[in-house]
Chains A and B, each alone.
Chain A
Amino acid sequence: MKRKFFDLLFRTATCLCVVFSCAVLLAIIGFIVKQGSSAVSRAFLTGEITGAGASGGIFYNLVGTGILLATTFLVSAPTALSIALLHGVYLRNYRHREKITILLYILNGIPGILFGIVGLVVFVQWFGWGKSWLAGGILLGFMILPTVSVTLIERIASIPRKYIEAAAGLGLRQSEIVRSVILPQSAGGLATGLLLGLARAAGETAPIMFTATIFAGATIPNGIRENPVLSLPYHIFILAQDSYSPEVNSRLWAAALVLVILVFAMSIVALPARLKIHEEADHG
């Protein structure tokens, strides 16, 4: 009887952990929606920032975040693809491939703020760019490199061997197999990885706060030097620190809501592929 009771107790306790986690998510989303939805409007999304966040909208913040993400994409896509091809195709030695994976995990662990600090020295000071969108994009690109590469590596590893063997049987050369089998087969993995990575990059503040983004007074950049952008996370970060007027408050939550929607949209598109990879890994 004691055993049955303990069994029930354990089930209940662990179930409560799940309930708690779900409740936290629902509470966070619910709260942001409740606080922010009233201030989200067409004018808010298309208006310029005015009055230090107390009025106006977040148009150029969206544009800025978009520019940063586009740059991040351009930096991380070819690099991640290169790393994954090297890992999955060109490197034959198991030890070398493992080294790549370990380096990626270490890179993944490096805190965002350190990217910001290094970026401050290199781009802002040495290159003399001041705050520039390009610096932010490059830093974010490096930051999400592990996410994109590892997703892609998993995808390439799961390409059925028979495809490759069939192509080899047709007498195709390595480069032709890469082009005709591996690249098309892994395109989905690249897209998933990029979506996941960009979802993360969209919300990052630490790497860009010293290097790429300002609170107000920037529009569309027309060069590299001294060409910062506005961005959504930095906007929230600054307003969060001194937000006591209710006007600012509702706009602050509205910006938070927009950011969360942006990030969730990207993660949700990537979700099916991600869950599939995981479940496959569970059964294989």
Chain B
Amino acid sequence: MDKSVLRTENLSVSAGKKSILNPVSLKIPGDGVFGIIGPSGAGKSTFLKTLNRLCELTPGLQINGQVFHRGVPLYHHGVDVDALRKRVSMIFQQPVVFPTSIFANVIFGVRHTETIPKKDWPDLAERALRQAALWEEVKDRLKKPGKELSIGQQQRLCLARSLATDPEIILMDEPTSALDPGSTEAIESLIHQLKKQQSIILVTHNMRQADKVCDLVAFIGLQDGTGTLLASGSLDELRSRNNIPGFEDYLCCE
């Protein structure tokens, strides 16, 4: 039996004639944090977005190959894409806070995708905010606009918003690259907490972060201008191998 939560099979992405990502076949286990590392512009984010079919919303991208979620093919007619995206949620590089109150932000997904009675929303919001370690900071100003929070708090608000819908997998696209060191640390320790319940797939180009939070990593580098999966395994394993093209350059430049 396939124990991986997500498995890609010859998954490639192109924009018109230009190839963005060479075929990737990768198994992502369900427990722990799976990191995707590599130089910027190598298609890490694009790869991440194929995992919940979010990349289909970018006009002009063609996706070939297949992704299996617990053995079930995702690129298949009849897959409920909206339900999939709810199970496989995504956190972006820049926090995307909706122009509404903190409270409305947290329950945004729940209110539109689930039939939870309105009276349960506050409890749910509190639970999600606690999970995102934001509750103590915002409990007295839930009605204030989400945009008033600091950028680090905003990112945790986005995390709480995802957590409120109880996703199985959280995709994180360089979630700390816009944040200050303090907020980065907060998010990193959150990831440690969250990985007990959720599978987390984290794109990062920060090796320190990868060392700190990732159990396994995949290295996606550039070959002839196209993103290519060059190695995967634990970081120590990757370091001990010396035949991964571009990996040493990547390590030393980081």
Q: Do A and B touch directly, given a CB cutoff of 8 Å in the complex?
A: yes
| B80 cross-chain contacts in A, Cβ below 8 A | 4
Chain B contact residue count (CB 8 A cutoff): 3
| A4 cross-chain contacts in B, Cβ below 8 A | 80
Chain A contact residue count (CB 8 A cutoff): 2
| B113 cross-chain contacts in A, Cβ below 8 A | 3
Residue of B nearest to A7 (CB): B82
Residue of A nearest to B115 (CB): A2
3 contacts between A and B (CB under 8 A): A3-B82, A3-B113, A4-B80
> Within the assembled complex, what's the spacing in Å between the Cα atoms of A3 and B113?
8
| B82 cross-chain contacts in A, Cβ below 8 A | 3
| B112 CB, min distance to chain A CBs, angstroms | 8
> Within the assembled complex, what's the spacing in Å between the Cα atoms of A3 and B80?
12
Q: Report which A residues bind B (CB closer than 8 A).
A: 3-4
Q: Report which B residues bind A (CB closer than 8 A).
A: 80, 82, 113
Residue of A nearest to B112 (CB): A3
| A3 cross-chain contacts in B, Cβ below 8 A | 82, 113
> Within the assembled complex, what's the spacing in Å between the Cα atoms of A4 and B82?
9
Residue of A nearest to B113 (CB): A3
| A224 CB, min distance to chain B CBs, angstroms | 56
For the complex of A and B, 3 pairs with smallest distance between CB atoms: A3-B113, A3-B82, A4-B80
> Within the assembled complex, what's the spacing in Å between the Cα atoms of A4 and B113?
11
| A5 CB, min distance to chain B CBs, angstroms | 13
> Within the assembled complex, what's the spacing in Å between the Cα atoms of A240 and B208?
78
> Within the assembled complex, what's the spacing in Å between the Cα atoms of A3 and B85?
15
| B57 CB, min distance to chain A CBs, angstroms | 14
Residue of B nearest to A2 (CB): B115
> Within the assembled complex, what's the spacing in Å between the Cα atoms of A3 and B111?
12
> Within the assembled complex, what's the spacing in Å between the Cα atoms of A3 and B82?
10
| A91 CB, min distance to chain B CBs, angstroms | 32
> Within the assembled complex, what's the spacing in Å between the Cα atoms of A4 and B80?
9
| A130 CB, min distance to chain B CBs, angstroms | 58
> Within the assembled complex, what's the spacing in Å between the Cα atoms of A147 and B67?
51
| A228 CB, min distance to chain B CBs, angstroms | 53
| B115 CB, min distance to chain A CBs, angstroms | 9
| B91 CB, min distance to chain A CBs, angstroms | 24
| A180 CB, min distance to chain B CBs, angstroms | 37
> Within the assembled complex, what's the spacing in Å between the Cα atoms of A152 and B113?
47
| B104 CB, min distance to chain A CBs, angstroms | 19
| A188 CB, min distance to chain B CBs, angstroms | 27
| B109 CB, min distance to chain A CBs, angstroms | 13
Residue of A nearest to B80 (CB): A4
> Within the assembled complex, what's the spacing in Å between the Cα atoms of A73 and B113?
57
> Within the assembled complex, what's the spacing in Å between the Cα atoms of A266 and B82?
45
> Within the assembled complex, what's the spacing in Å between the Cα atoms of A3 and B112?
9
| A2 CB, min distance to chain B CBs, angstroms | 9
| A279 CB, min distance to chain B CBs, angstroms | 12
> Within the assembled complex, what's the spacing in Å between the Cα atoms of A4 and B81?
11
> Within the assembled complex, what's the spacing in Å between the Cα atoms of A3 and B81?
13
> Within the assembled complex, what's the spacing in Å between the Cα atoms of A178 and B230?
53
> Within the assembled complex, what's the spacing in Å between the Cα atoms of A147 and B21?
45
| A49 CB, min distance to chain B CBs, angstroms | 52
